[in-house]
Chains A and B, each alone.
Chain A
Amino acid sequence: MSERKTIDARGSFCPGPLMELIAALKLVQIGDEIEILSTDKGTVNDVPEWVAKVGHEMGEITEKGDHWSVVVKKAK
Protein backbone atom coordinates (compact mmCIF):
# COMPACT_ATOMS: atom_id res chain seq x y z
CA MET A 1 0.00 0.00 0.00
CA SER A 2 1.40 3.40 -0.97
CA GLU A 3 2.28 5.90 1.71
CA ARG A 4 2.68 9.67 1.91
CA LYS A 5 5.54 11.28 3.79
CA THR A 6 5.76 15.01 4.48
CA ILE A 7 9.04 16.93 4.46
CA ASP A 8 8.82 20.28 6.20
CA ALA A 9 11.45 22.30 4.32
CA ARG A 10 10.03 25.67 5.29
CA GLY A 11 12.90 28.07 5.99
CA SER A 12 15.42 25.69 4.42
CA PHE A 13 17.96 27.69 2.43
CA CYS A 14 20.47 24.84 2.18
CA PRO A 15 20.18 22.17 0.93
CA GLY A 16 16.71 23.45 0.08
CA PRO A 17 13.38 21.86 -0.77
CA LEU A 18 14.30 20.17 -4.06
CA MET A 19 17.45 18.56 -2.60
CA GLU A 20 15.38 17.39 0.37
CA LEU A 21 12.83 15.92 -2.05
CA ILE A 22 15.52 14.12 -4.07
CA ALA A 23 17.02 12.65 -0.89
CA ALA A 24 13.61 11.63 0.46
CA LEU A 25 12.57 9.87 -2.75
CA LYS A 26 15.58 7.56 -2.38
CA LEU A 27 14.14 6.22 0.87
CA VAL A 28 10.57 5.40 -0.25
CA GLN A 29 8.97 2.79 -2.50
CA ILE A 30 7.64 3.23 -6.04
CA GLY A 31 4.07 4.50 -5.72
CA ASP A 32 4.73 6.36 -2.47
CA GLU A 33 4.21 10.11 -2.33
CA ILE A 34 6.33 12.87 -0.83
CA GLU A 35 4.70 16.15 0.15
CA ILE A 36 7.24 18.94 0.42
CA LEU A 37 6.38 22.12 2.35
CA SER A 38 8.34 25.15 1.21
CA THR A 39 8.44 28.87 1.86
CA ASP A 40 10.47 29.32 -1.34
CA LYS A 41 8.12 30.18 -4.18
CA GLY A 42 10.74 28.87 -6.63
CA THR A 43 9.84 25.36 -5.46
CA VAL A 44 6.59 25.43 -7.46
CA ASN A 45 8.68 25.74 -10.64
CA ASP A 46 11.85 23.83 -9.66
CA VAL A 47 10.09 20.64 -8.60
CA PRO A 48 7.85 20.16 -11.68
CA GLU A 49 10.82 20.91 -13.96
CA TRP A 50 12.93 18.22 -12.31
CA VAL A 51 10.06 15.73 -12.02
CA ALA A 52 9.42 16.05 -15.77
CA LYS A 53 13.12 15.43 -16.56
CA VAL A 54 13.52 12.42 -14.30
CA GLY A 55 10.13 10.77 -14.88
CA HIS A 56 8.29 10.85 -11.56
CA GLU A 57 4.67 12.04 -11.30
CA MET A 58 3.54 15.45 -10.11
CA GLY A 59 0.69 15.67 -7.62
CA GLU A 60 -1.09 18.74 -6.31
CA ILE A 61 0.58 22.10 -5.81
CA THR A 62 -1.28 24.11 -3.18
CA GLU A 63 -0.64 27.60 -1.82
CA LYS A 64 -1.20 27.53 1.95
CA GLY A 65 -0.88 31.10 3.14
CA ASP A 66 2.80 31.66 3.82
CA HIS A 67 4.04 28.48 2.16
CA TRP A 68 3.41 25.98 -0.62
CA SER A 69 2.66 22.26 -0.56
CA VAL A 70 4.02 20.27 -3.50
CA VAL A 71 3.27 16.54 -3.88
CA VAL A 72 5.38 14.13 -5.95
CA LYS A 73 4.74 10.43 -6.55
CA LYS A 74 7.75 8.14 -7.01
CA ALA A 75 7.32 6.45 -10.39
CA LYS A 76 10.64 4.68 -10.98
Chain B
Amino acid sequence: MATRILIVGGGLAGTIIANGLCRQVGDEISKGNISITMLGTSETHMYQPGLLYVPFGKIREKELFRPQRKVLDKKIIFHVDPAKNIDVDSQKVTTESGKVYEYDYLVIATGSRIMPQNIPGMVEGAHWLYDLDGARKMRDALEAFEGGKIVVNVNAPHKCPVAPVEITFMLHDYLSKKGLMDKTEITYTYPIGRVHALEPVAEWAKPAMDQHGIKYETFFNTKEVDPKAKTISSEEGVTLNYDFLVTIPPHNGAEIITNSGLGDGGWVPTNKTKLLREGSENVFVCGDTTNIPISKAGSTAHFEADTIIDNLTSLITEKRWARDYDGKVFCFVETGMNSGTYVWFDYNTPPNPGAPSQMIHWFKLAYNRLYWLSARGLL
Protein backbone atom coordinates (compact mmCIF):
# COMPACT_ATOMS: atom_id res chain seq x y z
CA MET B 1 0.00 0.00 0.00
CA ALA B 2 1.25 3.47 -0.89
CA THR B 3 2.58 5.83 1.75
CA ARG B 4 0.02 8.62 1.80
CA ILE B 5 1.24 12.19 2.26
CA LEU B 6 -1.56 14.70 2.79
CA ILE B 7 -0.84 18.43 2.57
CA VAL B 8 -3.45 20.80 3.97
CA GLY B 9 -2.96 24.23 2.43
CA GLY B 10 -2.01 25.36 -1.08
CA GLY B 11 0.03 28.44 -0.26
CA LEU B 12 3.76 28.79 -0.70
CA ALA B 13 4.73 26.34 2.07
CA GLY B 14 2.46 23.51 0.96
CA THR B 15 3.26 24.07 -2.72
CA ILE B 16 7.05 23.98 -2.27
CA ILE B 17 6.78 20.82 -0.19
CA ALA B 18 4.51 19.08 -2.70
CA ASN B 19 6.67 19.98 -5.70
CA GLY B 20 9.92 19.34 -3.84
CA LEU B 21 8.77 15.88 -2.83
CA CYS B 22 7.92 15.09 -6.45
CA ARG B 23 11.52 15.92 -7.35
CA GLN B 24 12.83 13.63 -4.60
CA VAL B 25 10.47 10.67 -4.85
CA GLY B 26 8.83 11.14 -8.25
CA ASP B 27 9.72 7.61 -9.36
CA GLU B 28 8.11 6.13 -6.26
CA ILE B 29 4.97 8.18 -6.93
CA SER B 30 4.89 6.91 -10.51
CA LYS B 31 5.24 3.33 -9.26
CA GLY B 32 2.32 3.84 -6.87
CA ASN B 33 4.44 3.49 -3.73
CA ILE B 34 3.87 7.05 -2.54
CA SER B 35 0.93 9.43 -3.06
CA ILE B 36 0.76 13.17 -2.48
CA THR B 37 -2.61 14.82 -2.04
CA MET B 38 -3.10 18.56 -1.48
CA LEU B 39 -6.27 20.13 -0.12
CA GLY B 40 -6.43 23.80 -1.12
CA THR B 41 -8.91 26.62 -0.82
CA SER B 42 -8.49 28.13 -4.29
CA GLU B 43 -7.75 27.24 -7.91
CA THR B 44 -5.44 30.28 -7.95
CA HIS B 45 -2.02 30.72 -6.37
CA MET B 46 -1.20 34.28 -5.35
CA TYR B 47 2.26 35.80 -4.92
CA GLN B 48 1.44 37.61 -1.69
CA PRO B 49 4.54 39.87 -1.41
CA GLY B 50 3.55 41.42 -4.74
CA LEU B 51 0.61 43.09 -3.01
CA LEU B 52 3.12 45.62 -1.64
CA TYR B 53 3.36 47.19 -5.11
CA VAL B 54 -0.37 47.32 -5.94
CA PRO B 55 -1.24 50.55 -4.08
CA PHE B 56 1.60 52.33 -5.85
CA GLY B 57 0.71 51.03 -9.33
CA LYS B 58 4.07 49.29 -9.57
CA ILE B 59 2.94 45.80 -10.55
CA ARG B 60 0.40 44.44 -12.96
CA GLU B 61 -2.14 42.43 -10.98
CA LYS B 62 -1.90 39.61 -13.49
CA GLU B 63 1.69 39.01 -12.35
CA LEU B 64 0.42 38.06 -8.89
CA PHE B 65 -1.52 35.00 -10.00
CA ARG B 66 -1.01 31.58 -11.57
CA PRO B 67 -3.42 28.63 -11.79
CA GLN B 68 -2.46 26.37 -8.87
CA ARG B 69 -2.76 23.24 -11.03
CA LYS B 70 -0.10 24.66 -13.36
CA VAL B 71 2.20 25.50 -10.45
CA LEU B 72 1.91 21.96 -9.08
CA ASP B 73 3.66 18.90 -10.49
CA LYS B 74 1.16 16.70 -12.35
CA LYS B 75 1.87 13.82 -9.97
CA ILE B 76 0.17 15.71 -7.15
CA ILE B 77 -3.50 15.02 -6.52
CA PHE B 78 -4.99 18.47 -5.95
CA HIS B 79 -8.48 19.16 -4.67
CA VAL B 80 -10.06 22.56 -4.09
CA ASP B 81 -11.99 21.32 -1.09
CA PRO B 82 -11.01 23.21 2.06
CA ALA B 83 -10.22 21.10 5.09
CA LYS B 84 -12.78 21.51 7.86
CA ASN B 85 -11.37 19.31 10.60
CA ILE B 86 -8.00 17.73 11.33
CA ASP B 87 -8.05 14.72 13.64
CA VAL B 88 -4.45 13.83 14.44
CA ASP B 89 -5.49 10.92 16.69
CA SER B 90 -7.33 9.01 14.00
CA GLN B 91 -5.11 10.45 11.24
CA LYS B 92 -8.02 11.81 9.22
CA VAL B 93 -8.87 15.13 7.64
CA THR B 94 -12.48 16.00 6.83
CA THR B 95 -13.24 18.58 4.16
CA GLU B 96 -16.08 21.03 3.70
CA SER B 97 -17.62 18.74 1.06
CA GLY B 98 -17.73 15.94 3.64
CA LYS B 99 -14.94 13.82 2.19
CA VAL B 100 -12.52 12.13 4.58
CA TYR B 101 -8.81 11.80 3.77
CA GLU B 102 -6.59 9.41 5.70
CA TYR B 103 -2.84 9.91 5.80
CA ASP B 104 0.42 8.37 6.90
CA TYR B 105 2.16 11.76 6.99
CA LEU B 106 0.35 15.06 7.31
CA VAL B 107 1.71 18.52 6.48
CA ILE B 108 -0.25 21.42 7.95
CA ALA B 109 0.38 24.61 5.99
CA THR B 110 -2.81 26.57 6.49
CA GLY B 111 -1.10 29.95 6.85
CA SER B 112 -2.28 33.10 8.56
CA ARG B 113 -5.06 35.63 7.94
CA ILE B 114 -5.56 39.28 8.69
CA MET B 115 -7.91 40.17 11.54
CA PRO B 116 -8.65 43.92 11.31
CA GLN B 117 -12.03 43.10 12.85
CA ASN B 118 -10.25 42.38 16.15
CA ILE B 119 -9.73 46.12 16.68
CA PRO B 120 -12.88 48.28 17.04
CA GLY B 121 -13.28 50.69 14.13
CA MET B 122 -10.33 49.29 12.15
CA VAL B 123 -12.35 47.79 9.28
CA GLU B 124 -14.27 51.03 8.77
CA GLY B 125 -11.36 53.41 9.29
CA ALA B 126 -8.22 51.86 7.86
CA HIS B 127 -6.61 50.80 4.61
CA TRP B 128 -4.36 47.78 4.26
CA LEU B 129 -2.59 45.96 1.46
CA TYR B 130 -2.49 42.45 2.88
CA ASP B 131 -5.24 41.24 0.54
CA LEU B 132 -6.04 42.17 -3.06
CA ASP B 133 -9.28 43.96 -2.27
CA GLY B 134 -7.58 46.04 0.42
CA ALA B 135 -4.61 46.84 -1.82
CA ARG B 136 -6.93 47.99 -4.63
CA LYS B 137 -8.91 50.22 -2.26
CA MET B 138 -5.71 51.69 -0.90
CA ARG B 139 -4.48 52.37 -4.46
CA ASP B 140 -7.70 54.22 -5.32
CA ALA B 141 -7.66 56.21 -2.06
CA LEU B 142 -4.01 57.15 -2.54
CA GLU B 143 -4.74 58.40 -6.05
CA ALA B 144 -7.37 60.73 -4.57
CA PHE B 145 -5.21 61.81 -1.59
CA GLU B 146 -4.32 65.50 -1.69
CA GLY B 147 -2.23 65.76 1.48
CA GLY B 148 -2.83 65.55 5.21
CA LYS B 149 -1.90 63.36 8.17
CA ILE B 150 -1.02 59.76 7.32
CA VAL B 151 -0.64 57.19 10.07
CA VAL B 152 1.08 53.88 9.27
CA ASN B 153 -0.04 51.63 12.11
CA VAL B 154 1.61 48.27 12.90
CA ASN B 155 -0.02 45.53 14.96
CA ALA B 156 1.25 42.26 16.43
CA PRO B 157 1.42 39.57 15.33
CA HIS B 158 1.77 40.14 11.60
CA LYS B 159 3.44 38.44 8.68
CA CYS B 160 6.21 39.92 6.55
CA PRO B 161 7.95 41.82 9.35
CA VAL B 162 9.71 44.29 7.07
CA ALA B 163 6.56 45.31 5.18
CA PRO B 164 5.72 48.16 7.60
CA VAL B 165 8.97 50.02 6.98
CA GLU B 166 8.78 49.25 3.26
CA ILE B 167 5.27 50.68 3.03
CA THR B 168 6.33 53.78 4.97
CA PHE B 169 9.33 54.63 2.81
CA MET B 170 7.50 53.75 -0.41
CA LEU B 171 4.62 56.02 0.64
CA HIS B 172 7.12 58.81 1.25
CA ASP B 173 8.69 58.34 -2.20
CA TYR B 174 5.30 58.04 -3.92
CA LEU B 175 3.95 61.22 -2.33
CA SER B 176 7.21 63.11 -2.88
CA LYS B 177 7.03 62.34 -6.60
CA LYS B 178 3.44 63.62 -6.64
CA GLY B 179 4.62 66.81 -4.93
CA LEU B 180 2.46 66.17 -1.89
CA MET B 181 5.00 65.69 0.90
CA ASP B 182 5.07 69.40 1.73
CA LYS B 183 1.38 69.04 2.57
CA THR B 184 1.70 65.63 4.23
CA GLU B 185 2.83 64.36 7.61
CA ILE B 186 3.56 60.64 8.02
CA THR B 187 3.53 59.08 11.49
CA TYR B 188 4.60 55.46 11.94
CA THR B 189 3.47 53.51 15.00
CA TYR B 190 5.09 50.32 16.30
CA PRO B 191 4.18 48.00 19.19
CA ILE B 192 7.58 47.87 20.94
CA GLY B 193 10.07 50.49 22.06
CA ARG B 194 11.92 50.88 18.74
CA VAL B 195 10.78 51.28 15.11
CA HIS B 196 11.39 47.64 14.14
CA ALA B 197 11.63 44.29 15.89
CA LEU B 198 15.00 43.59 14.26
CA GLU B 199 17.43 45.83 16.09
CA PRO B 200 19.74 46.46 13.07
CA VAL B 201 16.72 47.32 10.90
CA ALA B 202 15.55 49.72 13.62
CA GLU B 203 19.04 51.25 13.80
CA TRP B 204 18.94 51.87 10.05
CA ALA B 205 15.25 52.88 9.80
CA LYS B 206 15.12 55.40 12.67
CA PRO B 207 17.69 57.87 11.27
CA ALA B 208 16.24 57.31 7.79
CA MET B 209 12.81 58.30 9.13
CA ASP B 210 14.37 61.34 10.80
CA GLN B 211 16.02 62.28 7.52
CA HIS B 212 12.73 61.98 5.63
CA GLY B 213 10.76 63.86 8.28
CA ILE B 214 8.72 60.77 9.14
CA LYS B 215 7.49 60.83 12.75
CA TYR B 216 7.23 57.70 14.86
CA GLU B 217 5.34 56.63 17.93
CA THR B 218 6.77 53.53 19.60
CA PHE B 219 5.08 51.42 22.29
CA PHE B 220 1.84 51.85 20.37
CA ASN B 221 -0.51 48.84 20.59
CA THR B 222 -3.79 49.72 18.96
CA LYS B 223 -6.85 49.85 21.21
CA GLU B 224 -9.39 51.34 18.83
CA VAL B 225 -10.02 53.44 15.75
CA ASP B 226 -12.74 56.11 15.61
CA PRO B 227 -13.50 56.39 11.89
CA LYS B 228 -15.83 59.40 12.38
CA ALA B 229 -13.44 61.46 14.48
CA LYS B 230 -10.53 60.04 12.44
CA THR B 231 -8.46 59.13 15.46
CA ILE B 232 -6.51 56.01 16.43
CA SER B 233 -5.77 55.26 20.10
CA SER B 234 -3.30 52.94 21.80
CA GLU B 235 -3.45 50.75 24.87
CA GLU B 236 -0.61 52.90 26.16
CA GLY B 237 -2.86 55.99 26.20
CA VAL B 238 -1.79 57.86 23.04
CA THR B 239 -4.32 59.18 20.48
CA LEU B 240 -3.33 60.28 16.97
CA ASN B 241 -5.40 62.17 14.40
CA TYR B 242 -5.32 60.93 10.82
CA ASP B 243 -6.64 61.78 7.40
CA PHE B 244 -5.38 58.53 5.87
CA LEU B 245 -4.83 55.44 8.00
CA VAL B 246 -2.78 52.50 6.76
CA THR B 247 -2.69 49.50 9.05
CA ILE B 248 -0.70 46.32 9.18
CA PRO B 249 -3.55 44.38 10.79
CA PRO B 250 -3.06 41.81 13.55
CA HIS B 251 -3.04 38.25 12.24
CA ASN B 252 -4.39 34.90 13.39
CA GLY B 253 -3.77 31.44 12.04
CA ALA B 254 -6.46 29.57 10.12
CA GLU B 255 -9.81 28.90 11.73
CA ILE B 256 -9.47 25.14 11.11
CA ILE B 257 -6.56 25.03 13.56
CA THR B 258 -8.53 26.43 16.49
CA ASN B 259 -11.67 24.48 15.49
CA SER B 260 -9.64 21.25 15.44
CA GLY B 261 -8.15 22.02 18.87
CA LEU B 262 -4.64 22.20 17.44
CA GLY B 263 -3.56 25.60 18.75
CA ASP B 264 -4.69 28.91 20.24
CA GLY B 265 -5.02 31.71 17.72
CA GLY B 266 -4.60 29.23 14.88
CA TRP B 267 -0.90 28.67 15.59
CA VAL B 268 0.17 25.04 15.99
CA PRO B 269 2.72 24.27 18.75
CA THR B 270 5.68 23.04 16.72
CA ASN B 271 9.16 21.73 17.48
CA LYS B 272 11.51 24.46 16.26
CA THR B 273 14.10 22.13 14.66
CA LYS B 274 12.10 19.03 13.64
CA LEU B 275 9.07 21.08 12.50
CA LEU B 276 6.85 18.35 13.90
CA ARG B 277 3.64 19.23 15.73
CA GLU B 278 4.32 18.90 19.45
CA GLY B 279 3.01 15.45 20.45
CA SER B 280 2.98 14.00 16.93
CA GLU B 281 5.54 11.92 15.05
CA ASN B 282 3.94 12.16 11.61
CA VAL B 283 2.47 15.67 11.51
CA PHE B 284 4.73 18.39 10.08
CA VAL B 285 3.86 22.07 10.33
CA CYS B 286 5.23 24.66 7.95
CA GLY B 287 5.18 28.42 7.35
CA ASP B 288 2.99 30.92 9.15
CA THR B 289 1.03 28.08 10.80
CA THR B 290 3.70 27.25 13.38
CA ASN B 291 3.97 28.93 16.77
CA ILE B 292 7.78 29.08 16.41
CA PRO B 293 8.89 32.56 17.54
CA ILE B 294 10.46 33.58 14.24
CA SER B 295 9.32 35.77 11.35
CA LYS B 296 6.15 34.83 9.55
CA ALA B 297 7.53 35.29 6.05
CA GLY B 298 7.73 33.54 2.71
CA SER B 299 11.42 32.83 3.15
CA THR B 300 10.75 31.17 6.52
CA ALA B 301 8.19 28.94 4.83
CA HIS B 302 10.67 28.22 2.02
CA PHE B 303 13.58 27.19 4.28
CA GLU B 304 11.27 25.18 6.53
CA ALA B 305 9.77 23.50 3.47
CA ASP B 306 13.22 22.46 2.21
CA THR B 307 13.91 20.84 5.58
CA ILE B 308 10.58 19.01 5.59
CA ILE B 309 11.14 17.74 2.02
CA ASP B 310 14.50 16.25 3.03
CA ASN B 311 13.16 14.73 6.23
CA LEU B 312 9.99 13.28 4.71
CA THR B 313 12.03 11.80 1.88
CA SER B 314 14.53 10.24 4.28
CA LEU B 315 11.87 8.99 6.68
CA ILE B 316 9.91 7.26 3.92
CA THR B 317 12.82 5.87 1.91
CA GLU B 318 15.50 5.28 4.57
CA LYS B 319 13.66 5.40 7.93
CA ARG B 320 15.95 8.14 9.24
CA TRP B 321 15.99 11.90 9.81
CA ALA B 322 17.98 14.00 7.35
CA ARG B 323 18.54 17.28 9.17
CA ASP B 324 17.24 19.97 11.50
CA TYR B 325 15.81 23.37 10.59
CA ASP B 326 18.29 26.04 11.69
CA GLY B 327 15.83 28.95 11.91
CA LYS B 328 17.02 30.62 8.72
CA VAL B 329 15.07 33.64 7.48
CA PHE B 330 15.95 35.92 4.55
CA CYS B 331 14.05 39.10 3.74
CA PHE B 332 14.47 41.71 1.08
CA VAL B 333 13.78 45.20 2.43
CA GLU B 334 12.56 47.83 -0.03
CA THR B 335 13.91 51.11 1.34
CA GLY B 336 12.11 53.32 -1.19
CA MET B 337 10.88 53.13 -4.77
CA ASN B 338 14.40 52.74 -6.12
CA SER B 339 16.58 51.17 -3.42
CA GLY B 340 16.62 48.09 -1.26
CA THR B 341 18.65 45.94 1.11
CA TYR B 342 18.27 42.48 2.63
CA VAL B 343 18.61 40.82 5.99
CA TRP B 344 19.13 37.21 6.99
CA PHE B 345 19.52 35.43 10.32
CA ASP B 346 18.99 32.07 11.97
CA TYR B 347 18.65 30.74 15.52
CA ASN B 348 22.33 31.42 16.20
CA THR B 349 23.29 34.21 13.81
CA PRO B 350 22.03 37.74 14.46
CA PRO B 351 20.89 39.88 11.53
CA ASN B 352 23.30 42.35 9.96
CA PRO B 353 21.74 44.20 6.99
CA GLY B 354 23.99 45.94 4.49
CA ALA B 355 23.66 49.42 3.03
CA PRO B 356 20.66 49.89 0.69
CA SER B 357 21.43 49.90 -3.04
CA GLN B 358 19.62 50.12 -6.36
CA MET B 359 21.06 46.73 -7.35
CA ILE B 360 19.33 44.94 -4.47
CA HIS B 361 16.07 46.70 -5.33
CA TRP B 362 16.40 45.37 -8.89
CA PHE B 363 17.12 41.89 -7.56
CA LYS B 364 13.98 42.10 -5.46
CA LEU B 365 12.02 43.05 -8.59
CA ALA B 366 13.58 40.06 -10.35
CA TYR B 367 12.60 37.82 -7.44
CA ASN B 368 9.00 38.95 -7.86
CA ARG B 369 9.10 36.75 -10.99
CA LEU B 370 11.62 34.16 -9.78
CA TYR B 371 9.09 33.35 -7.03
CA TRP B 372 7.32 30.99 -9.38
CA LEU B 373 10.50 28.92 -9.59
CA SER B 374 10.56 28.76 -5.78
CA ALA B 375 6.97 27.57 -5.70
CA ARG B 376 7.83 24.90 -8.26
CA GLY B 377 10.67 23.69 -6.08
CA LEU B 378 13.39 24.79 -8.52
CA LEU B 379 14.93 27.70 -6.59
- Which residues on A are within 8 Å of B, measured CB to CB? 7-9, 11-20, 22-23, 26-27, 46, 49-50, 53-55, 76
Contacts and interface: CB of A to CB of B under 8 A. Distances in A.
B265 interface: yes
Nearest to B196: A14
Given A13-B350, A15-B295, A49-B193, A54 B235 contact: yes
B53 interface: no
B192 A50 contact: yes
20 contacts: A7-B293, A9-B293, A11-B348, A12-B294, A13-B345, A14-B161, A14-B197, A14-B329, A15-B293, A16-B293, A18-B193, A23-B250, A23-B265, A26-B250, A26-B265, A27-B264, A46-B193, A49-B193, A53-B219, A54-B221
Contacts of B157: 15, 19-20, 23
A19 B156 contact: yes
B159 to A, nearest CB: 10
A27 B265 contact: yes
Where chain A touches its partner, the secondary structure class is: mixed
Contacts of A76: 235
Contacts of B350: 13
B294 A14 contact: yes
Nearest to B349: A13
Contacts of A20: 157, 293
A22 B294 contact: no
A15 B197 contact: yes
Contacts of B250: 23, 26
Interface in B213-231: 219, 221
A15 B161 contact: yes
Contacts of A54: 219, 221, 235-236
Contacts, number: 74
B4 to A, nearest CB: 32
Interface size class, chain B:
20 to 34
A76 B235 CA distance: 10
A50 B294 CA distance: 21
Nearest to A45: B193
Nearest to A12: B293
A18 to B, nearest CB: 5
A47 B275 CA distance: 28
Contact of B347 (A11, A19, A23): A11
Counting chain A CB atoms within 10 Å of each CB, which of B156, B157, B293, B294 scores highest?
A: B293
B191 interface: yes
Interface in B175-219: 191-193, 197-199, 219
Nearest to B194: A46
A46 B202 CA distance: 15
Contact of A16 (B118, B192, B327): B192
A34 to B, nearest CB: 12
Counting chain B CB atoms within 10 Å of each CB, which of A15, A18, A20, A22 scores highest?
A: A15
Given A12-B294, A23-B265, 15 more contacts: A8-B293, A12-B293, A13-B198, A13-B350, A14-B198, A14-B294, A15-B294, A16-B197, A23-B157, A27-B264, A27-B265, A46-B192, A46-B193, A50-B192, A54-B236
A8 B199 CA distance: 19
Counting chain B CB atoms within 10 Å of each CB, which of A9, A14, A18, A55 scores highest?
A: A14
Counting chain A CB atoms within 10 Å of each CB, which of B193, B237, B272, B327 scores highest?
A: B193
Nearest to B297: A14
A50 B293 contact: no
A68 to B, nearest CB: 15
Nearest to B292: A12
B120 to A, nearest CB: 14
